[in-house]
Amino acid sequence: MKTTRIEPTLSAAGEYLRLQAERIAEDPMTNSVFALAQTLFQNIEQGETSLDEVGGLIDETHLLLVSQRAERLRERHAGARPEKAWAPVRSRLDALAGQGFEAFRAEIEQARGGIVFTAHPTFALSPELRAAIAGEAVKPGKRARAALDKALQADARGWNRSITLASEHDEVQMALLNAADAQQRFAALVYDVARAHFPESWKQLRPVLPTIASWVGYDLDGRTDIHWSHSITFRLNEKADQIRRYHARVQAILEAHPAATGLAALLERLDLAASETALQAAMFSGDLQNPEHLVAAANRLTAEGPGRLTDAAEIVAALDDALAASDGAGDLARDLLILRAQVESQQLGTGRIHLRVNAAQIATVISRELNLDADERSLGRLALAELSRRAAAPRPVDVNFADLFLEQSTARRQFMMCAQILKHIDAGSPIRFLIAESENPATVMAALYLARHYGVNGKLDISPLFETPEALETGGRFIERLLDEPEFAAYVRRRGHLAIQLGFSDSGRFIGQIAGNMAIERIHNLILRALAPRVPGAGLLIFNTHGESMGRGAWPGSFEQRFDHLLTPWTRTRAHMLGVRIIHESSFQGGDGYLHFATPELAETTLAHWCAHLLAPPPESAAADPFYTRTDLVWDFYRALRAWHERFFANPDYGRLLTDFAPGFVVTAGSRQTRRPSGAAGPRALRAISHNAELQQLGIPVNTASGIGSSLQRETDRLVDLVNTSPRMRSLVQLAWRARLLSSLPVLRGYASVYNPDVWIAHARASTPETTSAYRGVYYALRDGETALSVNRTANLLAIDLDRFDRLLARLDEAPSTVTRHEDRINLHVVHGIRQALMMHAFSLVGRLPRISERHDTSLRDIIRLVTSLRIGECVDLLGRIFPPSQDQLTRLSSVTEAGGAEAGSAQYGYDHIHASIIAPLDRIDQLLHRISLSLNHPYDAFG
């Protein structure tokens, strides 16, 4: 059967989609995406379009999508012009200085927050591609575009499969380096403003800089592959790097100011310390399962010597001496003070440490070792009281590296490691101790007990993470119960603040992103209300991890909108009224998050926006937002929205969609497993990042776009009015409508059609005799039709809900038009259509395989199922073993001297034919599908 040939160009494919869409008025069942897929599939099958030509179309579309991403990145970063981004910060500092020296000092000498670099499986893009995107954002032009095009052409499959914890740590160190330079720029700005306003007293200022931290190499939640020695080694390497940076800064100051001879001794001290620390790191990177190696490394680290430096206070003291001797030299004093501020902030590491464990690991200590019952239903009241009693009378113990070597409990081992880091590596840097999936106050009290037991409570910020729906519901009472225990309240009082962590991604997975954001704002305020009367004067450290959008931190608007969404102006106003000082931290996660720090320019503009957020008072209008006065409507909306998502998430058809073939779209993007190794099966086994990534790849970010249309249908008029008048409600719906712009039911239904056995029977009837059997083979593999049925049922549910949302959107001020939405999705439809065509071609190729010998312990049906589940790379490897290249065999056997060989056959008709006609094309398809998966995260500005 002859079909129309589509020229493999983006413009031709887009025009074909538009022509097909015009048929919808005549035939509502028309699916332009699958129409494109089928035509491309037939073009490929009939030899009219080659896979290389399809690859060219993919690259053309990918280049456009990634260029648009770079352009959005540039816009969010003030055109990648640091001076423009710092201007509002300077204005705010000038305004503070106008209030007088003491007011200025009070503002800049208090902790306000910082940024945290996290990881997880979010490294979808190779470092080369991320660098190229950053280059295009910072300095667009021919050279940047050429680098971008080259990075897109690379086959990144090997890179994705080879991601390790060590490579992730290397990447975070580059981001931390750029962040530290930006932090230094902020310190210089503070002193420059102060010097201009207070020429007599500016040297007295000791600003508290925005902190930078990382949990890469220290986060044990959901993984068992990080040995304590890895964390020690990472920290020693970080320490050596940071001391080298201090050495370089001191050397630069000394070169600029030769009269500052007192710095020579500090320079020598830092040189010895850097060399010694590097040697210690090398020793700890060896095989510490060997007791002899462990003893040598431990003894080297703990021994006294000229290179031993364990407290940055020694560096600060040397800088203070140099300041006292500077004899009024303003530029020298400025340089010394900037360095001093950064040493106070960074201490002896490239970033502060965030250790993370799971609540279950703490619970093990409670139940097995302390013989206590932390009953979830009662929030562990008896255990909490007993742990509080034990924490009040601790018996601190000294530990050494032999204890760490022998300890089997994960939780205890982490506290021991804290003790060793504080004793022997970095005594002055606070350590965050995050407890994931916190639902029971007893786990936090147990952590305090262990911290006191190991003598580290003075430097440890124990921080529960509220992320599950249950934790978000009970988090306020959770904190009340803790603060009602005198020992925990005393601990918070001594630390000066209560530390908590909020997880947006898991909450969004179960109850929807919009409802999750609302629940998190609620818990912010419940905890504020619990803290203010119980520990007056204490601050609240809120660490908001990203995932609050369609991807990890992929807020569709500006940085200002993103930060206000994480910690709302109303919440900040409420905290001020209650007398609680908020310390706000936010994460930049994985490769996409590090993109904001990929160059010095991007790092500066990111930190400048963050500093503006930390310094700016909330607008006075925040208190008048009707979102906070029309609580009956707001919380009815929340409950209805949450209920819709909970029902949808539990729907077995949705579960099948997420487990049948969609995992094959998701590239390996990190060293942590994407699924939970134990516990619930199905969608609940998916981690939040993997869940988000699958939705991105399917073209349906339903956890963000869906549910709103089906909530409060009888209250639509009031809801529309609230969105149009409330900045907070508008920001929530703005996020949802951005997700709606990227949602496409034709795409989802197209995937259903790929798996529809009826489609394959139809192709078999219309095909040539050579391909009929192949198509029938695919039909037999798919003939139960369950996958297609589940996908279509899911699409039907979403169609009803999204149609309602579209009607609501049409009534909002400045909402996007339907025409604009459809046109903006054309390029995405092209990509999905290509992918569906390639999937069909892959199915067809394996349908043409010859019968497989029983000795291979597999069948043709098994291989087809391997490909239909999109495990094409595995299939290629398997087929390569089943059908080894015949030419290679003939070449190796050609030295046989005996006459004969006439029956050996020609390579043309042996396994080489299968390699050329089936295996090699399958491998090429696998490569192209990998590129498509990478391209589809760009419209979201994030992966997962």
Q: What is the pLDDT of residues 114-153, one digit of tens each?
A: 999 998 888 999 999 999 999 999 999 999 999 999 999 9
Which sign does the torsion angle of CA 550, 552, 554, 559 carry?
A: positive
Q: What is the pLDDT of residues 781-814, one digit of tens each?
A: 999 999 999 999 999 999 999 999 999 999 998 8
Q: For position 1, what pLDDT does the model report?
A: 55
Q: What span, in angstroms and rounded, lies between the C-alpha atoms of 118 and 424?
A: 25
Q: What is the pLDDT of residues 613-657, one digit of tens each?
A: 999 998 888 889 999 999 999 999 999 999 999 999 999 999 999
Q: What is the pLDDT of residues 160-214, one digit of tens each?
A: 999 999 999 999 999 999 999 999 999 999 999 999 999 999 999 999 999 999 9
Phi/psi for 352 (5° steps) reads: -70, 155
**pTM, two decimal places:** 0.93
Give CA torsion, residues 635, 638, 644, 650, to 10 deg: -110
Task: Enumerate the β-bridge partners of residue 358.
Answer: 436
354-363 average pLDDT score = 92
| Contact in structure between 835 and 929 (CB atoms under 8 Å) | yes
Q: What span, in angstroms and rounded, lies between the C-alpha atoms of 350 and 246?
A: 11
| Contact in structure between 912 and 887 (CB atoms under 8 Å) | yes
What letters, b where the CB count within 10 A reaches 16 and e where it falls short, cover 609-648?
A: bbbbbbbbebeeebeebbbbebeebbebbbebbbbbbeeb
Q: What span, in angstroms and rounded, lies between the C-alpha atoms of 849 and 395?
A: 70
Q: For position 656, what pLDDT does the model report?
A: 94
Higher pLDDT, 3 or 567: 567
Q: What span, in angstroms and rounded, lies between the C-alpha atoms of 627 and 731?
A: 11
| Nearest CA-CA partner of 425 in 355, 340, 348 | 348
| Contact in structure between 719 and 818 (CB atoms under 8 Å) | no
831-838 average pLDDT score = 98
819-837 average pLDDT score = 92
Domain spans, the chain? 629-824
Q: For position 909, what pLDDT does the model report?
A: 43
Question: Per-residue pLDDT for 425 more than 60?
Answer: yes
Q: For position 907, what pLDDT does the model report?
A: 44
Terminal CA-CA length for the chain: 41
User: Among 258-262, 462-466, 699-703, 766-770, which stretch is predicted with the lowest mean pLDDT?
Assistant: 766-770
Question: Per-residue pLDDT for 369 more than 80?
Answer: no
| Contact in structure between 142 and 566 (CB atoms under 8 Å) | no
Question: Per-residue pLDDT for 778 more than 80?
Answer: yes
The answer for residues whose C-beta is within 8 angstroms of residue 162's C-beta and 6 or more apart is none
Confidence of residue 302 (pLDDT cuts 50, 70, 90): very high
Q: What is the pLDDT of residues 836-875, one digit of tens each?
A: 999 999 999 999 988 776 666 788 888 988 999 999 999 9
Q: What span, in angstroms and rounded, lies between the C-alpha atoms of 195 and 331?
A: 10
Q: For position 102, what pLDDT does the model report?
A: 97
Q: Where are the beta strands (DSSP E) in 669-798?
A: none
Q: For position 908, what pLDDT does the model report?
A: 45
Higher pLDDT, 255 or 856: 255
The answer for residues whose C-beta is within 8 angstroms of residue 390's C-beta and 6 or more apart is 370, 449
Mapped onto helix, strand or coil, the DSSP state of residue 12 is helix
80-84 average pLDDT score = 97
Give the whole-number percent of the chain exceeding pLDDT 70: 95
| Contact in structure between 466 and 500 (CB atoms under 8 Å) | yes
Q: What is the mean pLDDT of the chain?
A: 92
Q: For position 892, what pLDDT does the model report?
A: 59
| Contact in structure between 867 and 875 (CB atoms under 8 Å) | yes
Q: What span, in angstroms and rounded, lies between the C-alpha atoms of 353 and 367?
A: 28
Tokens 């020609």 map to which residue? 906
What CA–CA distances, in Å, run from 942 to 125, 444, 547, 740? 10, 33, 10, 16
51-57 average pLDDT score = 97
475-496 average pLDDT score = 95
